[in-house]
Amino acid sequence: MHRHLSSLCAALLLLCVAPILHAHERPSVALTVDVSHVGKDKWLVDYRFQSAVTSITLPSVGEYRQKAWKLLTPGLRLKTAADNDVISRDGKPFKAVSVEITTFDGLAPKAYAPFNRFTDGGTAMFLGLLQGEAHKGQHAFAMSTDVRLKGLAGENVIAPPLNKLTRGGERGYAYFGPAQAVSIGNTKFLLDPQTPAWSRETMLDVGAKMSQYYEKAYQRPLKDELFIMLSVAGYEAPGISIKGDAVMGQLSYRFDGKELLGDHPKKRELLTRLVAHEMAHLWQLNIERGGVGEDDPWIHEGGAEAMALDGLLNTGLLSQEKIAAYRKAQTATCEKLGNSVATYDGIYACGLVRFDKLGVAIVPLWRSMIEATEAKGEVYSQQMIDAIVGAKTGTQVSAQK
């Protein structure tokens, strides 16, 4: 989903954080997944389950698996559909699956990029797309996965952070290539060698200031080292595309387009908001249990918008006028959508509007939400917001309005 800035012929992709299912909510099945880089654009992925399953269900990502996956295990079939892709053998149990995957450059709306290429020949692979649900007959199980990575000869391999909320749960992007990550303080950076100077400066400045602000405002440092990865797809396409993802202690950015090459205040503002938004997700997930659920994505996306604007104002990264202008634009978008959060744009725009109307500042509100989700293990929800707002204001207010 692109958001256009007509003055720059620009587009911004915000695919920020996926809902996370926690291990304590359902039973799991243990398995290992060996990911081997076997050729320039070839990957071998071997699933090994501790006990037999009858199918694997993976959330679909456009045409990714249809075009890039080839099952090597005899008898197994991959059936792709609009919502889920299923690996099965006509109901017969199996314990192992081998898949050959071709590097895939396509993007699907509201989904993590399967691969991000670096201009030095490196490649980042999103491991989360290898995981889903395993089934034994009619019973579904979470995949508690031990991922093992192997690169080409002489290739450097950098694993993403572990999933601290769900042991064996979704992981971020693994890097295979010539580059080495650089640690600055409690943050590890892997930046494409052709990262434009203006964006490098913006990311480092915003990242440092927002990290310090979020830590103080929400009264907790990040539990683990942050891993920031930025790749440049190229400068051939018209306009500018900046795609950002946040997943379990990692921020991943993908840049593309001719307009990246020139500095401009609007581009710095665009990236500043994106970095602040993605970092807000990390603090939403900076907990031991609970967090983001499957329902009501407007809560974590609208919440991240509100958290980011608050932080940008209080750090001086954006002026009050620019923040007011952005809020006005998002309010106008929400009104055009009939104040609905049923669409992709509505999740962000109307999500922000809903938080703005609650009458409680975002910092004390989300700080209380962090405490509530961690204390009870319940995911962030409208009911949680309503209870906290009611306790703080002494009135009954619904976040849905």
- Write the DSSP string, 52-72: EESEEEEE--TTHHHHHEEE-
Of 27, 30, 25, 114, the closest CA to residue 69 belongs to: 114
CA dist 180 and 16 (Å) reads 25
DSSP state of 196: -
* Tens digits of pLDDT across the chain (401 residues): 233 332 333 334 444 455 444 444 579 999 999 999 999 999 999 999 999 999 999 999 999 999 999 999 999 999 998 889 999 999 999 999 999 999 999 888 778 999 999 999 999 999 999 999 999 999 999 999 999 999 999 999 999 988 877 888 889 999 999 999 988 777 889 999 999 999 999 988 998 899 999 999 999 988 777 889 999 988 888 888 888 888 878 889 899 888 888 899 999 999 999 999 999 998 998 888 888 888 899 999 999 999 999 999 999 999 999 999 999 999 999 999 999 999 999 999 999 999 999 999 999 999 999 999 999 899 999 999 999 999 998 876 666 65
Region at 340 (left for phi over 0; alpha for psi -120 to 50; beta for the rest) = beta
| H helix runs in 179-264, sequence order | 197-217
Q: Answer for the pair 322, 347: CB distance below 8 angstroms, yes or no.
A: no
- Contact status, residue 268 vs residue 154, Cβ threshold 8 Å: no
What does the pLDDT read at residue 12?
45
pTM of the model: 0.81
- Token pair for residue 385? 């917001």
371 Cβ contact list (under 8 Å, min separation 6) = none
What pLDDT sits at residue 45?
98
